[in-house]
């Protein structure tokens, strides 16, 4: 009716008016006067002239040999502080890798961390240096790390209370889709502030708000609030990855400078080799990167396509990022690169490295084979083959990476996997931000299967 009335009122001017409106909106958008894109909450977008260039040379400038050397010295100081907190002369160093997979991964990760740490008499987190991964797994691992920080400050705090797993299992999907309709589509003008910065309330905001409510407000922090605890090795370091949509590079978020993670170790002195990852803090040095919300770093790591909006970042040209799982769903690639950078220190100061992988799917590739059973399957198979095998492909090359590195180090590398395998062979918990009561029970009970219990025994024997 409104369109009809407007057409009647404008009559022969209707088409010119639409064209003017179209170009007017484009102009306002190009000048960022109206901008519905989702942003990284806490990051400064208004200093347009100070936005970094995003090209090969600008990234090369962030990871020069001298810069890498400086950042490595900083990280070695943290490694030394971690060593000082250990009881043994050569302790096992633990790296926790958690997979993406929505709430099924979040619940399985939280339950696994609580129970395994408890069985290790609290030594699991004490010996853990780095946590990496994707999506739901990182949501839970970050929540657990913050709870562990409270335990360090207050020994009476019950870190293994079942309510924390119940918290992480609470629904996030409904608020996200409610916001999609109520805000993203119908009323995309509501804003909120962080310091002097203003951002639109959309489904990304709704996700963070609900996730924080579910976690009892434990995630209401900015990177700068975590920096001292990570630098003193009071808590394990976390690296949040996301995937840059335009070129599949990793955007790596840490409280510490990590230029040494931008290239494979063997290519760090090669000026012709392009970085395949970006140090967020270094790239956005003029945009107050330490003001980034912890919740936003987690969301950037968990931006499942369409469910959550891509996060656009203030570069020239503009880039946007999405789920870490598109590049490294299991977190192992990041952990292996870290180990490769510090293998000399690790060989001298530890009794080896233990990778604990907590994942939402089996490692055996024979489950749910991709079979062609009909003419329709023959038609759609070429288009869906990559989707079906995507994580299997990641696992194959990451297994190769692990084997290559483990045969070229002067220390032992161990790997133990705790995995969700549904008791219902036909249908397990869905990849979703919502779990039914039955799915939640199935995910929690999966920790007790025979294979996982053997993995836990192996972990206990290594950590002691």
Measured CA angle at 307 (ends 221, 385), to 5 deg: 125
CA distance 451 to 453: 5
Residue 58: exposure state from Cβ atoms within 10 A (0-12, 13-18, ≥19): middle
CA 56 to each of CA 60, 274, 312, 339: distance values in angstroms, whole numbers, following the listed order: 6, 6, 19, 25
Q: What is the pLDDT of residues 317-375, one digit of tens each?
A: 999 999 999 999 999 999 999 999 999 999 999 999 999 999 998 887 666 665 666 66
pLDDT exceeds 60 at position 22: no
Instruction: Domain ranges for the chain, please list them.
Output: 1-31, 48-463
CA distance 311 to 245: 10
Domain spanning 48-463 has what CATH number?
3.40.1090
pLDDT of residue 384: 62
Q: What is the pLDDT of residues 89-116, one digit of tens each?
A: 999 999 999 999 999 999 999 999 999 9
Q: How far is CA 166 from the centre of its chain?
A: 21
- The b-or-e profile of 101-113 (16+ CB within 10 A means b, else e) is bbbbbbbbbbbbb
Q: Residue 291 gets which letter from DSSP?
A: G
pLDDT of residue 423: 85
pLDDT exceeds 80 at position 25: no
Q: Are 261 and 279 in contact (CB under 8 A)?
A: yes
Q: Shortest CA distance to 115 belongs to which of 71, 159, 75, 66?
A: 159
CA 456 to each of CA 39, 299, 447, 464: distance values in angstroms, whole numbers, following the listed order: 40, 30, 10, 12
Q: What is the pLDDT of residues 277-332, one digit of tens each?
A: 999 999 999 999 999 999 999 999 999 888 899 999 999 999 999 999 999 999 99
pLDDT category of residue 409 using cuts at 50, 70 and 90: very high
pLDDT of residue 261: 98
Q: Shortest CA distance to 445 belongs to which of 413, 409, 421?
A: 421
pLDDT exceeds 90 at position 30: no
Length of the chain: 464
Q: What are the strands, taking DSSP E only, across 203-288? A: 237-238, 240-244, 250-253, 277-279
pLDDT of residue 371: 64
pLDDT of residue 9: 58
pLDDT category of residue 397 using cuts at 50, 70 and 90: confident
pLDDT category of residue 128 using cuts at 50, 70 and 90: very high
Residue 85 in tokens: 């907190």
Radius of gyration of the chain (CA): 23
Global pTM reads: 0.90
pLDDT of residue 307: 87
pLDDT exceeds 80 at position 10: no
Average pLDDT estimate for 214-232: 97
The DSSP string of 83-98 is HHT-SSSSPPEEEEEE
pLDDT exceeds 70 at position 383: no
CA 160 to each of CA 115, 119, 121, 126: distance values in angstroms, whole numbers, following the listed order: 7, 11, 11, 15
Phi, psi of 194 (to 5 degrees): -130, 110
CA 74 to each of CA 2, 256, 258, 337: distance values in angstroms, whole numbers, following the listed order: 62, 8, 9, 17
Q: What is the pLDDT of residues 243-257, one digit of tens each?
A: 999 999 999 999 999
Point out which residues pair with 311 in neighbouring strands.
Answer: 38, 321
Residue 63 in tokens: 């990871």
Phi, psi of 4 (to 5 degrees): -65, -45
pLDDT of residue 364: 74
Task: Specify the range with the lowest mean pLDDT, choosing from 40-44, 126-130, 164-168, 365-369.
Answer: 365-369
pLDDT of residue 395: 86
pLDDT of residue 329: 92
Peptide bond into 316 cis (omega under 30): no
pLDDT exceeds 70 at position 181: no
Per-chain mean pLDDT for the chain? 89
What's the order of all strands across the beta sheet hosting 240-244? 38-39, 311-313, 319-322, 240-244, 250-253, 277-279
């Amino acid at each position: 009716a409104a369109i009809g009335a407007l057409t009647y009122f404008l009559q022969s001017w209707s088409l010119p008016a639409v064209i003017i409106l179209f170009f007017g909106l484009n102009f306002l958008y190009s000048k960022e006067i109206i901008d519905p894109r989702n942003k990284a909450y806490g990051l400064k977008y208004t200093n347009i002239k100070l936005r970094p260039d995003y090209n090969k040379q600008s990234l090369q400038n962030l990871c020069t040999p001298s810069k890498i050397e400086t950042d490595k010295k900083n990280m070695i100081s943290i490694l030394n502080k971690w060593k000082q907190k250990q009881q043994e002369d050569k302790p096992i160093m633990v790296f926790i890798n958690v997979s993406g997979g929505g709430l099924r991964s979040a619940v399985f990760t939280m339950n696994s961390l609580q129970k395994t740490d408890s069985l290790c008499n609290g030594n699991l987190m004490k010996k853990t240096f780095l946590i990496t991964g994707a999506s739901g797994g990182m949501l839970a691992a970050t929540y657990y790390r913050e709870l562990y920080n409270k335990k360090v400050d207050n020994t009476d705090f019950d870190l293994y209370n079942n309510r924390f797993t119940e918290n992480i299992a609470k629904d996030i999907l409904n608020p996200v889709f409610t916001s999609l309709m109520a805000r993203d589509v119908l009323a995309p003008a509501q804003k909120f502030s962080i310091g002097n910065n203003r951002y639109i309330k959309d489904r990304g905001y709704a996700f963070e708000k609900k996730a924080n409510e579910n976690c009892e407000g434990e995630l209401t922090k900015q990177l700068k609030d975590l920096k001292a605890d990570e630098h003193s090795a009071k808590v394990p370091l976390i690296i949040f990855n996301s995937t840059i949509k335009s070129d599949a590079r990793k955007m790596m978020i840490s409280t510490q400078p990590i230029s040494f993670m931008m290239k494979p170790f063997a290519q760090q002195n090669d000026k012709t080799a392009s970085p395949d990852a970006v140090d967020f803090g270094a790239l956005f040095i003029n945009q107050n990167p330490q003001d980034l919300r912890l919740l936003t770093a987690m969301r950037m790591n968990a931006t499942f396509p369409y469910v959550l909006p891509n996060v656009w970042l203030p570069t020239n040209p503009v880039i946007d990022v999405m789920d870490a799982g598109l590049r490294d769903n299991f977190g192992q690639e990041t952990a292996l690169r870290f180990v490769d950078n510090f293998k000399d220190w690790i060989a001298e100061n530890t009794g080896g490295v233990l990778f604990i992988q907590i994942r939402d799917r089996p490692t055996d590739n024979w489950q749910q084979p991709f079979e062609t059973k009909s003419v329709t399957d023959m038609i759609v198979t070429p288009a869906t083959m990559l989707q079906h095998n995507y994580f299997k492909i990641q696992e194959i090359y990451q297994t190769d990476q692990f084997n290559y590195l483990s045969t070229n180090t002067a220390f032992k590398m161990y790997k133990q996997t705790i995995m969700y395998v549904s008791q219902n062979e036909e249908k397990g918990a869905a990849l979703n931000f919502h779990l039914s009561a039955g799915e939640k029970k199935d995910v929690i009970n999966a920790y007790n299967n025979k294979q996982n219990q053997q993995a836990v025994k192996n972990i206990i024997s290594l950590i002691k």
